[in-house]
Amino acid sequence: MDETDRRLLSALREDGRIPVAELARILGVARATVTARIERLVASGTIVGFTVRVRDELDPLAVRAISLIEVEGRTTDNVIHRLRGLPEIRSLHTTNGGWDLVAELGAETLAHFDSVLGRIRSIEGVVNTETSLLLSSVLR
């Protein structure tokens, strides 16, 4: 991946629907170059999909949180596999320090959110969690 690829990815993160012609203008390359690079990034698995971002106040999953998850021993792969199956998990990251995983959660109501936390805590290998509700986003 070179600087042009990084700039391309940055532009797509900002607006996944930006026209190829506009990307070519921004990057200073031909449209065919942009198309070929996007196809290569998709084929290599660098780009895994395209999505839409919804304004927080209009988001149907209005209860949002960050959950820090401690995993027992060598069960991390199993825990990750189980967590990937929960549609309420928007992102999942491995980390260092006192916690093994960080999950961003979304739920429609507090009752639904409570249920999600219960499902996470019941996964074999999850030892401890600490969860904080996200009240507002000041930078995304």
pLDDT in tens, 18-42: 999 999 999 999 999 999 999 999 9
- Nearest CA to 105 among 91, 122, 121, 118? 91
How many Cα atoms within 13 Å fall on the side-chain side of residue 2?
A: 4
Distance CA 85, CA 137 (A): 26
* pLDDT, position 65: 95
pTM of the model: 0.64
pLDDT in tens, 71-111: 998 999 999 999 998 989 989 999 998 999 999 998 888 99
